[in-house]
Structure 1
Amino acid sequence: MLFSPSRFLRRVALATCVSLTFPAVASADILIGHPAGVTGAVAAGVQENLIGARAVFDAVNAQGGVHGQRIVLRTLDDGFKPEKTAELARQLIDEGALALFMTRGTPNTEAVLPLLKAAKVPLVGPSTGASQLHQPVNRFVFNVRSSYQAETTRVVEHIRLMGLERLAIVQVDDSFGRDAVQGALAALQRIGKAPVLHETYNRDKPDFSALVPLIVKADPQAVLFIGSSAPIAEAITQLRQAEHSAQAITLSNNASAGFIKALGPHARGVVVSQVFPWERSHRTAFIRDAQALIAKQSGVTLTQAMLEGVAAAKVLVEGLQRAGRNPTREGLRDALEGLNHFDLGGLTLSYGPQDHSGLRFVDIAIVDREGHFRR
C-alpha cells in the first residue's frame, strides 16, 4: 500500500496546531525546530521526510532519549514561502530550539542563513542540494544529502549511456533551478552538446500551457524537469496529454510516493535521480534499519523521501550523543563538525572545518508499472 499524503497531511496539520497551542516541551527536553512546507508545492516530500525523521526520534525517545533527554521535533508549516520560513525559524530559535532541521527548498533555506549565524544555531540536513550550502563552507550548516549539481551531472551521464542525443531542460526560475541546472549544462558542454531547448517557469505561478508546445516543437528525446513536485507532475502530465513520448527526468527532491501519485497514469517510465540506495534493497544496513523503523507504522511503505528523513535524524542524534547532556547550540555544532567516517549503515559521512557536504551518493531510478522506483 502506498503512503497516503492526504491522510498524513491531516495528522501533521493537527500536530502542528497542537504544538502552537499547548507548551509540550519540558525543560529537560531537546527542542528541534522544523520550519517546512507541510502544505504547498512540496508537501508530499516534506510529509514523507517527517515520517522518516519521526520514526528515528520516536525510537530514540522510547529508549530513554539522548542522555536521558527527550527529543521534541516541532514542525511549523511555512507553506513553501521563503519569507515564512525565516519568520518561523526566528520563532523557533526564540523558543529555545537547539537546532533547526530539514528546511525544505533552496530559497527557503537561504532565507534562514542569517539567523543561523546570528543565533549560532546549527541547521542539520537541509532538504536541498544547493551548491551554495556546500561551498564555501557555512560553519552552521550540516548537509546530509548530495548536491543537485551532482544529480544533474549524473542525469546527463545516464542519457548519454542510453544513446539519447537531444535533451531539453525545463527549470524553475529561482535559486534552486539556477543552481541545479549548472551541473547539466557543464556536463553537456564536456561532451560537446547543448540542450535543444532550455526554458524556465515561474515558481509562484507555474503555467505550462505555452511551454509544453515549445517542448513538442523542439522534439527532444528526453526532458530534464527541475522544480518541485506539484508543478513538475503537472508539466509531465501536460506533455503526455500533448502525445509526446520524450523520456521525462527529474531530481531527488521529487523522489516521493506523493509525486508518483500526482503523476497518476503518467508515472510509469519517469526517471528520478536518487541520493540514497534503493529503498527496497536489503544489501545495506541503513536500508534494513529504515525498513524496520517504517514497518512499525501501519499502511506506510518506505520511500526515498523517508530515507532522507531517517538519515538526517540519525546524524542529528549522533551529534547530540557526542555533545553530552544539556548541550549548547555551539556545543552541538562542534560535535557535528567532529563526525569523521560516521557509519550510517553502509553509508559513511564525514564533516570537518573545510567540509560540511555529507554524503555523495547519487543513482538513477525509474518508476515501474506498480508505482515503485526501480534501479
Structure 2
Amino acid sequence: MKRWVGLAALFAACIGMNGAFAQSTLRIGMVAGFSGPVAGIVQESAEGAKLYFDSINAQGGIKGQNIELVTQDDKYDPATAVAAAKSLASQGVLALMLSRGTGPTEAVLPVLKENKLPLIAPATGAASLRDPVQPWVYHLRASYQKEAERAVKHLAGIGVKRITIVQVNDPFGNDAGKGAIKGLDDIKLRAMSNLRFDRNKPDLAPTMQAIAKAGIEAVVLIGPAYAVVEGVQALRAAGSTAHVATLSNNASADFVKALGNESRGIIVTQLFPYERSTANLMVREALSLAKSAGRNELTPAHVEGFAAAKLIVEALKRAPGKEITRDSLVKALDGARIDLGGLQVHYSEKEHSGLEYTDVSIVGEDGKFKR
C-alpha cells in the first residue's frame, strides 16, 4: 500500500494543474559582470538572450523542455568568475554563454576543461582565446584585431591620415593595438604615435593635450568605457575636434550617457548587424519579439545576446540522442553550419572562430548608434 501511495505522490508531483506533465529545463549559465564597470552592456546582452529563449519556451521549448538562463555576477573579476563558473557547473548547466572580458574568460578555461563544459559566444575578441584553438570555447564575434583594423580603415576612408593610437596597457589593449597597426600597414599609413595608459589610473588629460597640440586628425582610443569617456572629455577640453574611434566593448547606452554632450560623432565598431535594420532577418525577428515584449528598440548588446541565444537553440535542436547533454551539445557544434538569419556561422573541431563580421557606427545627436 505504501508503495502505491509513494508512486501516486510521485506521479502527482510530475503533473501540473492542467494535467500536463511538468517540463524539465535546459539550463544555460551566464557568468559576467552584472555589477561593476561593464554592468550596463552585460545586462543588455542578457536581456537579448532571454528575449529569444522566452520566445522558444512560448513555442514549447526544445524537445519539450524549457530553456532557463541562470546568471551569476563575476563583478568583472577573474577569481570571482572562476568561483561562479564552478558553481554553475556543479548545478548541471549544459553550457556557459556571453562571458564578458578577456581576464574573466581566460580564468574559467580550466573549469571548462575539467567539467567538459562548453562556453558559447564569449563577449571578448582576444587572440589568446583563439590561437591556439580552445576546444571548449565557441566564438561568435570577430576578434579585437579585426575590429581595430576596421576602425582605422574607416578613418582612412573618410580622408584622415594623421592618426594616433591610444590604448590601455594590458592584454586587451595590446591585442587590439596590433590590429590597428596592421590596418594602417595594409593601407600604407603609419600611426603618428602609439601611446599607452594605465587601466586603473588612466590620467589621460596630459596625453590628450599633447595630441591636440600636435594637430592629430583622429584618435583610435582603445580601453574600458570609463577610460574612453575620460579621454574623449580631455581631448575636447584641450580644444581638439579630432575624430575618435573606439571598439564595440563600448557599444552601450551607458557609454553614450556617460559621454553626455561629447558623445555626438564618436565612432564605435560593431560586430553584428544594425539593431534597427529590418533588412536583416535576425534583427527583424528580434525587433518583432521586442515589440511584443513591450520594448520599442534594441541596442547592439541586445543583438549580440539574441544572436548567441539563437546559436545555442540551434545547437540544442541538433544535439544527437534522446537526452541533451554537454557532450551532445559539443557534438552538435563541431562541424556545424548554422544560419542565424543572414549570419552564417561555421565550426569545426579545429576552428571555433565563428563570425568575422565587422562594421562601424557613429553616435548621433539623439545618442543612438547610426550606420
Fold match, TM over 0.5? Answer: yes
Report the 3-state secondary structure (helix = DSSP H, G, I; strand = E; otherwise coil) of the residue aligned with 2:108: helix
Q: Note if 1:326 corresponds to 2:323.
A: yes
The TM-score with structure 2 as length reference comes to 0.89
- Structural mapping, 1:1-375, within 5 Å: 28-324=24-320, 325-340=322-337, 342-375=338-371
Distance in 2, Cα, partners of 1:330 & 1:41: 34
Report the 3-state secondary structure (helix = DSSP H, G, I; strand = E; otherwise coil) of the residue aligned with 2:297: coil
Q: CA-to-partner distance for each residue in 1:43-62, whole Å, 9 max, x for gaps?
A: 12111101110101111112
Report the 3-state secondary structure (helix = DSSP H, G, I; strand = E; otherwise coil) of the residue aligned with 1:44: helix
The TM-score with structure 1 as length reference comes to 0.88
User: Which range moved further: 309-318 or 81-90?
Assistant: 81-90
Q: How many residues align structurally?
A: 349
Q: CA-to-partner distance for each residue in 1:277-322, whole Å, 9 max, x for gaps?
A: 2111211111101111222333552111111000111101111111
Change in 2 beyond 3 A, CA 1:243/1:297: farther
Distance in 1, Cα, partners of 2:90 & 2:270: 35
Distance in 1, Cα, partners of 2:179 & 2:77: 26
Identity %: 45
Distance in 1, Cα, partners of 2:306 & 2:147: 20
User: Which range moved further: 237-246 or 205-214?
Assistant: 205-214
The alpha carbon displacement at 1:246 in A equals 1.0
Amino acid of the structure 2 residue aligned with 1:233: V
Which structure 1 segments of 5+ residues have no match?
1-25
Q: CA-to-partner distance for each residue in 1:149-183, whole Å, 9 max, x for gaps?
A: 11111112111111111111121222211111111
The alpha carbon displacement at 1:27 in A equals 9.2
Amino acid of the structure 1 residue aligned with 2:330: R
CA RMSD of aligned residues (A): 1.8
Which structure 2 segments of 5+ residues have no match?
1-21
Q: CA-to-partner distance for each residue in 1:115-162, whole Å, 9 max, x for gaps?
A: 111111100000011122222221211101111111111112111111
Distance in 1, Cα, partners of 2:214 & 2:37: 28
Higher Cα radius of gyration: 2
Distance in 2, Cα, partners of 1:243 & 1:94: 55
Distance in 2, Cα, partners of 1:28 & 1:370: 44
